[in-house]
Amino acid sequence: MLIHRGGSLPGSLALRFHPTILKDLTICQPVILVTGTNGKTSTANLIADLFMQAGKKVISNRKGDNMLAGMTTSILAKTHLNGQLEGDVIVLEVDELNMRHIVKQLPVSTIVVTNFFRDQLDRAKEMEQLIQSIEKSLNDYEGNLILNGQDPNVWRLAKSCQKAKVFSFGVSLQGQGFKSEAAEGKFCPVCGHALAYDFYQYSHIGQFHCTHCDFKTPVNIDAFVQKVDGQNFVIDSQTLHMPFHGLYSVYNCAALYAVSQLYDLTKQVQTTLDQAKSPAGRNQHFDLQGREVVLNLMKNPTGANEVIKVIEQDTRKKTLFLLLNDREQDGTDVSWIYDAQFERLNHANISSIYCTGLRAGDMALRMWYGGYEGPIQLVNQLSDALNQSDGLTYIITTYTAILPTAAWLERMAS
């Protein structure tokens, strides 16, 4: 083995001395990439688990290190000195902006695209430019393309990637559907006319059609969840159980199922879900000597809105800690907190709010302008908030704080 350490440093070094190092490896294993704005860590982990359940050796970047250097590290760690890889399949979560680099360097067999939301605009540029860069990199791609058929931003790839073999996944209408919550999906990406929706599932995800051209949600979705009942869902006429909550998780499961269909592993889906663990900070529960603490990640308005819904649904009295950082991976622009619907928390039985992080003042100000009438306090760190409050506590943090916070809570719980 060349490298044993994780993280992105070994990959960074390798790339500096040999920028096309991945290209020169002998890779004959299937390479599956998962990209999109939200759900890519969860989905990529599930797909990796799926192959492991089938007894395969999987090479993956499980820690969510999804930039080129991190992926290079993951692959080199499983590479012998003769350039051969030790593993049966490669499953990588890929940052949207890194897609165009990684598809050039690896013999990709399958790409899964979860969704495209407004995310960290300062880094990811505007949506349109981002999607165009991905479309361009996939111009000659001839592999499988597994797409969310209910996200117009994603489904447009079916039109632009003419040589790819396209598969779709989706979920039938759940409940009443929602009014659109986000700015995406107003105009047809093909002809520019207005898009119309038969229903919205959440944000701009739903059943759409263009009012002018033939661009629309596919009529027959390949991996289609027919019914959702709590943590159970029906797909392909069988009922499966997932250990997650939330509609967005059902979409991840639908994507997983689509991959299982392609690789003839549908029998392994339930066992995959049985042993699945949520990644850090996705509704992660901790028991701190009897005090219940729930940790969630927020990185963009859509993700934050889904977390807000989960908190709203828990009607018990609770305390809320909000941690807002503005480092590069958090997004250096904090404007997005005004696009998320924090007002919904005004009536979610929250007795007090503690704000911390590099931009704690902005977060507190957001809650104040949003009309929250309970006490809002600024604290230097989460442990101060924990000491000053008690009872059920929800913590929401931005990206750079999620792993340290999860580790801290784990220590406190043990």
Quick note: the x/- pattern for another protein over 167-186, rule CB under 8 A, is ----------------x--x
Site for another protein contains 244 (CB under 8 A) = no
Count how many Cα atoms sit within 13 Å of the Cα of residue 89 in the half-sphere of its side chain: 21
308 or 406, CB closer to another protein?
308
Quick note: the x/- pattern for another protein over 128-167, rule CB under 8 A, is xx--------------------------------------
Which range touches another protein (CB under 8 A), out of 43-51, 91-99, 206-214, 335-343? 335-343
Show Cβ contacts of residue 103 under 8 Å, excluding neighbours closer than 6 positions.
33, 111, 137, 138, 141
Taking the CA atoms of 44, 49, 52 and 53 in sequence, report the sign of the dihedral they define: negative
Least CB distance to another protein at residue 368 (A): 6
Which range touches another protein (CB under 8 A), out of 38-46, 96-104, 283-291, 330-338? 330-338
Which range touches another protein (CB under 8 A), out of 92-100, 119-127, 205-213, 228-236? 119-127
> Coil, strand or helix: which one is 143?
coil
* Residue of 339, 344, 400, 408 interacting with another protein (CB under 8 A): 339
Show Cβ contacts of residue 196 under 8 Å, excluding neighbours closer than 6 positions.
208, 209, 210, 211
Structure tokens at 352: 């007090």
Neighbours of 121 (CB within 10 A): 16
Neighbours of 178 (CB within 10 A): 17
* Residue of 275, 335, 380, 381 interacting with another protein (CB under 8 A): 335
Contact present, 152 and 183 (Cβ < 8 Å): no
Residue carrying structure tokens 């050796």: 57
Least CB distance to another protein at residue 122 (A): 5
| Residue 209 to residue 190: CA distance in whole angstroms | 11
Site for another protein contains 124 (CB under 8 A) = no
Phi, psi of 332 (to 5 degrees): -80, -15
23 or 327, CB closer to another protein?
327
Longest dimension (CA), the chain: 65
* Residue of 337, 350, 353, 401 interacting with another protein (CB under 8 A): 337
| Residue 231 to residue 85: CA distance in whole angstroms | 37
Residue carrying structure tokens 């995406």: 184
* Residue of 160, 181, 187, 234 interacting with another protein (CB under 8 A): 187
* Residue of 338, 352, 374, 412 interacting with another protein (CB under 8 A): 338
DSSP 8-class letter at 183: S
294 or 360, CB closer to another protein?
360
Site for another protein contains 97 (CB under 8 A) = no
Q: Which of residues 349-408 bind another protein (CB under 8 A)?
A: 358-362, 364-366, 368-370, 376, 378
Looking at the DSSP assignment, which residues form a beta bridge with residue 233? Answer: 228, 240
Structure tokens at 375: 């006490």
182 or 250, CB closer to another protein?
182
104 or 186, CB closer to another protein?
186
Q: Which positions touch another protein (CB under 8 A)?
A: 118, 121-122, 125-129, 183, 186-187, 192, 332-339, 358-362, 364-366, 368-370, 376, 378
